[in-house]
Structure 1
Amino acid sequence: MMFKNGRGKKIALLVASLMTLMMLGGVVVQKQCAAEGSNDYDSIELFTDVLAIVKKSYVEEVDTKKLIYGAINGMLASLDPHSSFMPPDMYKEMRIDTKGSFGGLGIEITIKDGLLTVISPIEDTPAFRAGIKAGDQILKIEDKFTKDLTIMDAVKRMRGPKGTKVTLTIMREGFDKPKEFTLVRDIIQVKSVRYKTLDDGYGYVRIAQFQEKTDEDLSKALASLKQENGGSLKGLILDLRNDPGGLLDQAVKVADHFISDGLIVYTEGREKDSRMQFSARASGTEPNYPLVVLINSGSASASEIVAGALQDHKRAVIMGTQSFGKGSVQTIIPLSDESGLRLTTALYYTPSGRSIQAKGITPDIVVERAEIQATDRKEGHIREKDLENHFENEGKDKPENQAGKDKTPVHKIDEQLKGDYQVQRALDLLKGWEILKNINKD
């Protein structure tokens, strides 16, 4: 296309320069263009031609920056579900997210098979309390269909002031038709690590999300659990269910707590900087007590790194259901106008060389989610005490046995965990482990 005046040429040069600066700081793009010849220059010229036509002939006057942002959004959306452009306001919120406090509904989302899909709801958030589940497909946000929305557009629509409402139209396996869920926005305060003693010597640690202080919080949790249990643990449950991931370095540090040496995770990408290896250090490693890691379809990214590393090193039994399968690494690149680029730069691999991209981590023991309900109903079995003229127990137990019977448990498991079938199965496995160990000693 030929420009009719000098002003058109200046616009073209300005836009070309802007695009070069915004793509990874310019240096990489310039190298790429030089290496690949004139094709990239032709494409950029095509882009500037279209931009000039729109600026000149579109029915209404348009903002150049809005057009540029739209073009970058479209470019990144054509790559993969996790690469995206963040305007300044979204980039600022993303940085706040990793610190564990942000406004919205508490849903981690992705695009799967072309549909906006829930990776997992975050604990104790409006989404979690409303019953949103991993795997739910979000068809509409208010009256806007999500099919043509980017992830960032969807996030922007779901966020808003505390106390305001937003309606999501959800399709779920088992639903006859989509259902509407009306949620009230709140300030989301994500507590990364929670912990509890389940029984004497048996600890439980829940990691909800990998944030800046997850490693520090885990260290404190493990120290407290050991202090509560006489200085040591007989076993630990590490709960990574519905953990959507987060910071890679925090995943490495969490795995390092339980692995004394060897590879934790490595990444492979095109650029030298994206090819990295992370290994365990001997210092600060936890004692080799039995460990069960719980995962499910909402366990993604960083939580899969931890589960995969512990599984490959045979340090833990992985229990639950197949994880999400997000095996890609996103690099956050700040841009000159305070916007940001989230770009998939590598795939990560477990120590044995497994890529979990679109596959996930397969549990060693598959345990589906189920609810445990207490019942007072008699099962109909006859016991010795039901027989007429049975002998009464006159309290002739040996003193040590009697002392054991009269002992009151120090720790009482809370109702939520008591009804959690997967946690109870994990606890049974740890106790069985201890029993077998003692049998082998005898």
Structure 2
Amino acid sequence: MKIVWSKIFGTWAPVMATVLILTLWAGLPASSAEEDTTYHSLKLFVDVLEELEKNYVDGVDAEDLIHNSIKGMVENLDPHSSFMPPEAFDDLQDDTKGEFSGIGIVITTKDGILTVVSPIEGTPAYRAGITAGDIIIKIDGDSTKGMALWEAVNKMRGPRFEEVLITIIRDREPAPLEFNIKRDMIPMTSVRSVVLKPGYGYLRITNFRMNTVDEVEDQLIQLESDPEGLKGLIIDLRDNPGGLLDQAIKISDLFLDQGIIVSIKGRQEKNTQVYNAYPGDRDRKYPIVVLINGGSASASEIVAGALQDHSRALLLGTPSFGKGSVQTVRPLKDGFGLKYTIARYYTPSGRSIQAKGIEPDIRAVHEILEKKKEKPSVFDRMIKEKDLKNSLEPENTQDSEKEAKKEDRLLDTGQLGRDSQIKRALDILVSYGVFSRLNGN
């Protein structure tokens, strides 16, 4: 008997645990039709598990089957919820703190296809020419079909200076493209700035990490110390995939003295909160133009939406990604983790941008011209939140390290001068200054 019980509580432990839950539940009176339905569904799960254990052509591991079931259950909720094994959970911590070696891209899945949201500026992938909308079909020769996001991330990360082969399909390219990319340390400095011309500054934020607000403040102080003072500022959030909520709130607060920055509303009261702006130590009343595009997501949209709704900045570019949901991460036993959506967020005026994105005040001219002269392509050039499988439906809003090296901070002003959107933003700021003087302000 000891051998039998050892086998039952060893190999069959996950199944026994589920059966025990069902047995205990069955002994309780059903309080609703919903509980009764849940009981029968769990019973069906156990029946399928037992059938596969007995009769599947090859031997199966019950624990693996249960883990895969949990994975499927969570990932079918929405594109941003996931059940993470220990190695994936560890990688999640690296994304917002500490350095790691990789190629530097933000990826998602669209209809089960691994797709680039945006390359991170200054990384190997960015320098190699990987662009937003590229579809990754192979990593080191292995097909990405059905590959989990964390698996793809693990395959692209690795020892510094070692190469990884990425095969992609790109819109309007007749054949797959291959990129041999040498891994490197992904830069944690997320902010850079430059004076475009006396009195006019340019601030580039590539993502929102743990100390991004400190970096932004440092850069602003440098720009504001210009002998001409700061007459206007361009904040570039293009291809910024987002990051930490608290950093987006603090950065918005640098330019706002009062009012709502963002509110989040969930099914549970504890997941509903309003974040407000407060007067700061510095007077930052200069005009601002914020640049956004389809790669501006999440925390980027919070900053852009807050400054737009408070008439604190003019938005120039193309509609943003449209990720208007908030996730939390819960550690589980044995090193597993659960990331799931707890709320939607709303701009100060009450707009939910989920699957809609933020509309710029002025659309980039080149996008309008391209749409007129080009036929629709097989793949969207820029993936949006609404394109992702099981993305949350849009709502009707009526119803409801701190010190960076100097060479890292400075940008190539020649390259910026060839950027049509930056040039247009600068023209807007200069024109605003001229008209202000004409009006005696």
TM range (shorter): 0.7 to 0.9
Aligned equivalents of 2:85, 2:105: Cα separation in 1: 20
Q: Is the 8 A contact 1:326 1:358 kept in 2?
A: yes
Residue 352 of structure 1 is matched in structure 2 by 349
Residue 205 of structure 1 is matched in structure 2 by 203
What do the CA deviations read for 1:271-292 (whole angstroms, capped 9, x no partner)? 2222221111123464211001
* Sequence identity (%): 49
**1:121 Cα deviation (Å)?**
0.4
Residue 298 of structure 2 is aligned to residue 306 of structure 1: no
**1:174 Cα deviation (Å)?**
2.4
Is the alpha carbon distance of 1:50 and 1:187 closer, same or farther for their aligned partners in structure 2, counting shifts above 3 Å?
Answer: farther
Alignment of 1:13-162 (within 5 A): 14-15=14-15, 17=17, 36-58=34-56, 60-99=58-97, 101-162=99-160
Classify the secondary structure of the residue corresponding to 1:266.
strand
Alignment of 1:232-251 (within 5 A): 232-251=229-248
Classify the secondary structure of the residue corresponding to 1:101.
coil
Unaligned runs of 5+ in 1: 22-32, 371-410
TM-score normalised over the length of structure 1: 0.79
Letter in structure 1 aligned against 2:440: K
Q: Is the 8 A contact 1:118 1:134 kept in 2?
A: yes
Aligned equivalents of 1:309, 1:100: Cα separation in 2: 29
Letter in structure 1 aligned against 2:435: L
Is the alpha carbon distance of 1:173 and 1:20 closer, same or farther for their aligned partners in structure 2, counting shifts above 3 Å?
Answer: farther
Aligned equivalents of 1:141, 1:277: Cα separation in 2: 42
Residue 432 of structure 1 is matched in structure 2 by 431
Deviates further, 254-263 or 174-183: 174-183
What do the CA deviations read for 1:105-152 (whole angstroms, capped 9, x no partner)? 111111234432211100111110111111222233333333322222
User: Which of residues 163, 166, 185 is equivalent to 2:164?
Assistant: 166
Deviates further, 128-137 or 4-13: 4-13
Residue 400 of structure 2 is matched in structure 1 by none
Q: Is the 8 A contact 2:103 2:125 kept in 1?
A: yes
**1:6 Cα deviation (Å)?**
9.4
Classify the secondary structure of the residue corresponding to 1:79.
coil
Residue 253 of structure 2 is aligned to residue 256 of structure 1: yes
Give the root-mean-square deviation of aligned CA atoms. Answer: 2.9
Is the alpha carbon distance of 1:198 and 1:323 closer, same or farther for their aligned partners in structure 2, counting shifts above 3 Å?
Answer: same
Residue 395 of structure 1 is matched in structure 2 by none
Residue 401 of structure 2 is matched in structure 1 by none
Residue 266 of structure 2 is matched in structure 1 by 269
Residue 414 of structure 1 is matched in structure 2 by 413
TM-score normalised over the length of structure 2: 0.80
Unaligned runs of 5+ in 2: 22-29, 368-409
Is the alpha carbon distance of 1:19 and 1:159 closer, same or farther for their aligned partners in structure 2, counting shifts above 3 Å?
Answer: farther
Q: Is the 8 A contact 1:193 1:218 kept in 2?
A: yes
Q: Is the 8 A contact 1:199 1:413 kept in 2?
A: no
User: Which of residues 327, 334, 339 is equivalent to 1:337?
Assistant: 334
Is the alpha carbon distance of 1:286 and 1:11 closer, same or farther for their aligned partners in structure 2, counting shifts above 3 Å?
Answer: farther
Letter in structure 1 aligned against 2:135: Q
Is the alpha carbon distance of 1:164 and 1:61 closer, same or farther for their aligned partners in structure 2, counting shifts above 3 Å?
Answer: farther
Is the alpha carbon distance of 1:142 and 1:436 closer, same or farther for their aligned partners in structure 2, counting shifts above 3 Å?
Answer: same
Aligned equivalents of 2:323, 2:203: Cα separation in 1: 23
Classify the secondary structure of the residue corresponding to 2:186.
strand
Q: Is the 8 A contact 1:139 1:171 kept in 2?
A: yes
Aligned equivalents of 1:20, 1:341: Cα separation in 2: 23
Aligned equivalents of 2:227, 2:43: Cα separation in 1: 69
Give the number of the structure with larger relative contact order, counting CA–CA contacts within 8 Å between residues 6 or more apart. 2
Aligned equivalents of 1:434, 1:53: Cα separation in 2: 74
Classify the secondary structure of the residue corresponding to 2:92.
helix
Alignment of 1:277-288 (within 5 A): 277-284=274-281, 286-288=283-285
What do the CA deviations read for 1:17-74 (whole angstroms, capped 9, x no partner)? 58999xxxxxxxxxxx987413333333333444444445555555554333322222
Aligned length: 387
